[in-house]
Amino acid sequence: MPLEAPARIVGELTSRGYNAEREAVTRLAAAENPNAALERVLEEIPDDALVVRTDHVEAALSTGGAAGAVGAETVAGTEPSPADSTPSVSTGTSSPEDGEPTGGVPVETGGSLSADRSADPAQRSLEIVGDMTGQSTGTGEYSDFVSVFRDRLDRLGAKLRGRVNHRPATAIQDMPGGSEVAMVGLVNDIRSTASGHWLIELEDATGTFPWLVMKDREYADLVGELLCDEVLAMEGTLADDSGIAFVDAMHFPDVPRTHEPSTADRHVQAALISDVHVGSQEFMADAWNAFADWLHTPEARHVEYLLLAGDMVEGVGVYPDQDEELDIVDIYEQYEAFSEHLKKVPGDIEIVMIPGNHDAVRLAEPQPGFDEELREIMSAHDPQIVSNPSMVTLEGVSVLMYHGVSLDEVIAELPEAKASYDDPHKAMYHLLKKRHVAPQFGGHTRLAPEEKDYLIIDEVPDIFHTGHVHKLGFGKYHDVLAINSGCWQAQTDFQKSVNIDPDAGFAPIVDLDTLDVTVQKFS
Ligand code: D5M
Ligand code: FE
Ligand code: ZN
């Protein structure tokens, strides 16, 4: 059987208006003459059926003579008729090891292909926790900025206030020189002084206060990690004139070291991908088809969830000169094409998707999930379409999905050893430590001011999934699995100009019962 057979079968079925169960596609692909078997299924399927089910295929195979012979050499008396061998779908010459001849009445597929490929869907559970779609109240007014930062300080501050004996900024300046002081605040400004020390201004609801980190203190190294607008706590000693404090300790909201991830109760897997970029000339259709085909194979039978962390399509007008590399110039046609590609994955996989910066939703974060028109276009496998970011729980395992635009900033601002494109997961660690997916406001990352800060990482996730930087990397931070999925787009001219070598055509697969990761390569 050629590798692309399942994807072609799905393509053929969807072009005729059918969805198909995964097992049904597997059985068709395994038939000796999949094309003939498919034709017979379509002849026999009830008029009102929308989904080709396994029992439809079984029924067709049992009446279909050679069309149904599976994994066996041609059996006497079941010669394929010439009409059966349309060249567009391979007839799938099988090797002898594939199975014993089935004696001319090939009802069962036999062998591994008929193994329980899809577990009982009743065992699945998928819960969406943090979808803000439809919750946006922001008007872009100044007051919204005030409330979003107040909410950030309140909620991230709450994770710190029990750990230090903090005082408001205005109270600190009234305390006697030499006092031990602590404050919880947003980083307002980071400056180096003429003598190489660091001056960090923290802001709380009452005002600001300057903190000095001496260059030879152990905490000086942490200054390189700081981003404006993140929330932290500082402890230190007030100068004689009480106008500044010398930092003795810094505390981050962070993931507690005691965090113990939850795992699924059975062996089940999730594929975590992002950045498909359909519509770009560099979209790698062959790699995508190989991935979709693999999902139809027995090896992938435990993959029951597919998470897509943004950039479904290339979009239009996202970057200067982007139009020169577009294969599809109309945004809706890009989504139609994406949808065709998505239909190739087994119909019984649960799909969750969030938008990215190339998608047709507002650019400012949090980005609500796709609108009705786009949902309609992408409705084939009934995906869960949620906001960027969102938290989903798969059989008890919580996954924070975020597209990842802020990673560019983390990588640009932090020293190479702490965050780089080669180790995107390490950049993700900093977001976990700051408990915020996009701490810095005013750079690349656009922030839509809302009453509430939807970008806070309130609950510690078991898995943190991002994309955007088109590099594959994963690792654990305080037992949280951070995965940055690669992409399905070959290097663009821009990426060439700045030496970004994308990891294209990889699918990291997570065992939800152990949180182990394996990477499948399709390019
Ligand atoms: O971005 C993929 C990666 O490449 C991400 O790290 C941003 C960077 N990138 C790509 N094109 C540009 C341009 N034109 N300017 C700045 N940065 C860019 P993605 O948004 O997923 O395509
Ligand atoms: Fe992308
Ligand atoms: Zn992106």
The DSSP-derived string for 415-453 is: -TTT-BTTBHHHHHHHHHHHTBS----SSSS-B---SS-
Measured in Å, residue 316 CA sits from the centre of ligand 1 at 14
Please report the pLDDT score of residue 6 as a whole number: 77
How far is the C-alpha of 40 from the C-alpha of 10, rounded, in Å? Answer: 15
Measured in Å, residue 361 CA sits from the centre of ligand 3 at 13
Please report the pLDDT score of residue 49 as a whole number: 79
Q: Which of 421, 469, 488, 491 to mutate to test the pocket of ligand 1 (most atoms within 8 A of CB)?
A: 469
DSSP assigned state of 350: E
Q: Give yes or no for a contact between 491 and 282, defined as CB atoms under 8 angstroms apart.
A: yes
Confidence of residue 280 (pLDDT cuts 50, 70, 90): very high
Atom of ligand 1 nearest to the CA of 421: 6
How far is the C-alpha of 341 from the C-alpha of 242, rounded, in Å? Answer: 64
Residues 64-83 have a mean pLDDT of 37
Q: Please give the residue that has the higher pLDDT: either 230 or 104.
A: 230
Residue 166: exposure state from Cβ atoms within 10 A (0-12, 13-18, ≥19): buried
Q: Is 468 in the pocket of ligand 1 (CB under 6 A)?
A: yes
**What ranges do the domains of the chain cover?**
6-114, 160-251, 267-515
What φ, ψ does residue 300 adopt, rounded to 5°? -100, 15
Q: Give yes or no for a contact between 49 and 56, defined as CB atoms under 8 angstroms apart.
A: yes
Q: Please give the residue that has the higher pLDDT: either 76 or 477.
A: 477
What CATH number has the domain spanning 267-515?
3.60.21.50
Which ligand ends up closest to the CA of 274? 2
Q: Give yes or no for a contact between 128 and 392, defined as CB atoms under 8 angstroms apart.
A: yes
Measured in Å, residue 411 CA sits from the centre of ligand 1 at 13
Q: Note whether 160-251 and 267-515 share their fold.
A: no
- Closest C-alpha to 381, from 337, 343, 428, 336: 343
Measured in Å, residue 490 CA sits from the centre of ligand 2 at 11
Q: Is 381 in the pocket of ligand 1 (CB under 6 A)?
A: no
Residues 482-490 have a mean pLDDT of 98
Amino acid identity of residue 491, one-letter, is Q
Answer yes or no: is pLDDT of 331 > 80: yes
State the chain's mean pLDDT as an integer.
Answer: 87
Residues 47-57 have a mean pLDDT of 81
How far is the C-alpha of 517 from the C-alpha of 523, rounded, in Å? Answer: 19
This prediction's pTM: 0.83
How far is the C-alpha of 378 from the C-alpha of 24, rounded, in Å? Answer: 22
Return the minimum-mean-pLDDT range out of 34-43, 207-216, 262-271, 350-359.
34-43
The pairing of beta strand 269-273 with beta strand 245-251: unpaired
Q: Is 469 in the pocket of ligand 1 (CB under 6 A)?
A: yes
Amino acid identity of residue 505, one-letter, is G
Answer yes or no: is pLDDT of 3 > 50: no
Atom of ligand 1 nearest to the CA of 322: 14
Q: Is 496 in the pocket of ligand 1 (CB under 6 A)?
A: no
Q: Please give the residue that has the higher pLDDT: either 97 or 435.
A: 435
Q: Give yes or no for a contact between 72 and 123, defined as CB atoms under 8 angstroms apart.
A: no
Please report the pLDDT score of residue 517 as a whole number: 98
Atom of ligand 1 nearest to the CA of 310: 21
Q: What is the pLDDT of residues 288-300, one digit of tens each?
A: 999 999 999 999 9
The pairing of beta strand 390-394 with beta strand 19-20: unpaired
Measured in Å, residue 467 CA sits from the centre of ligand 3 at 7
Answer yes or no: is pLDDT of 422 > 80: yes
**What separation, in Å, do the N-terminal and C-terminal C-alpha atoms of the chain show?**
19
The pairing of beta strand 517-521 with beta strand 463-466: unpaired
Q: Is 45 in the pocket of ligand 1 (CB under 6 A)?
A: no
Please report the pLDDT score of residue 4 as a whole number: 53
Confidence of residue 119 (pLDDT cuts 50, 70, 90): low
Atom of ligand 1 nearest to the CA of 320: 14
Q: Is 222 in the pocket of ligand 1 (CB under 6 A)?
A: no
Q: Is 359 in the pocket of ligand 1 (CB under 6 A)?
A: no
How far is the C-alpha of 501 from the C-alpha of 521, rounded, in Å? Answer: 16
How far is the C-alpha of 11 from the C-alpha of 18, rounded, in Å? Answer: 9
Q: What percent of the chain has pLDDT over 90?
A: 69
Measured in Å, residue 16 CA sits from the centre of ligand 1 at 37
How far is the C-alpha of 22 from the C-alpha of 57, rounded, in Å? Answer: 11
Amino acid identity of residue 172, one-letter, is I
Answer yes or no: is pLDDT of 71 > 60: no
Q: Is 408 in the pocket of ligand 1 (CB under 6 A)?
A: yes
Within 13 Å of residue 509, how many CA atoms lie on the same side as its CB? 19
Locate 376 and state its tokens.
């309609």
Please report the pLDDT score of residue 130 as a whole number: 85
Q: Is 275 in the pocket of ligand 1 (CB under 6 A)?
A: yes
How far is the C-alpha of 516 from the C-alpha of 269, rounded, in Å? Answer: 10
Q: Is 470 in the pocket of ligand 1 (CB under 6 A)?
A: yes
How far is the C-alpha of 421 from the C-alpha of 495, rounded, in Å? Answer: 12
Q: Please give the residue that has the higher pLDDT: either 165 or 122.
A: 165
How many CB atoms within 10 Å of residue 386? 23
Residues 374-378 have a mean pLDDT of 97
Give Cα 479 to chain centroid, integer Å: 19
Q: Give yes or no for a contact between 96 and 111, defined as CB atoms under 8 angstroms apart.
A: no
Locate 403 and state its tokens.
């597209």
Locate 342 and state its tokens.
């998505």
Q: What percent of the chain has pLDDT over 70?
A: 88
DSSP assigned state of 368: P
Confidence of residue 435 (pLDDT cuts 50, 70, 90): very high
Q: What is the pLDDT of residues 152-188, one digit of tens each?
A: 999 999 999 999 999 999 999 999 999 999 999 999 9
Measured in Å, residue 48 CA sits from the centre of ligand 3 at 41
Q: Give yes or no for a contact between 478 and 491, defined as CB atoms under 8 angstroms apart.
A: no
Instruction: State the fold for domain 160-251.
Output: OB fold (Dihydrolipoamide Acetyltransferase, E2P) (2.40.50)
Q: Is 319 in the pocket of ligand 1 (CB under 6 A)?
A: yes
Residue with CA nearest ligand 1 atom 11? 494
Please report the pLDDT score of residue 83 as a whole number: 35
